[in-house]
Amino acid sequence: MKPLVENIKPNFPGMISYIDTHDKLFDIVKSPSEYGFVEARRGCCGTGLLETAILCNPSTVSCADPSKYVFWYSFHPTIECYKFLANVSFQQIRDSILSATPSN
């Protein structure tokens, strides 16, 4: 996808950006403490073995501090992780727009 976006980007200066959240999330999972997280192997909500939507329900115990977890359950990040990824995305978009804007 990135080569396609880079190919058409000159036709739409400042309007198209390629944002890579997958690699950043993978970095967070590999080194959670570098990003302020404590736990990346287990979800905050679930059984501790398999955290999925059906096992994460009102009768399930969740962690005391979700902001320390990368994942809410097995595959959905926590709000804190989503906030971090959103900030990274915003910075990438901003940098892309600024680099496409001609300077006076």
What confidence tens digit (pLDDT) does each residue in 9-66 have? 888 877 787 888 889 999 999 999 999 999 998 888 866 666 666 667 777 778 899 9
pLDDT at position 69 is 94
Say how far apart CA 58 and CA 52 lie, in whole Å.
13
pTM of the model: 0.78
pLDDT at position 49 is 64
Please state the domain extents for the chain. 19-99
Alpha carbon of 26 to those of 22, 44, 63, 67, 89: distances in Å? 6, 18, 22, 17, 15
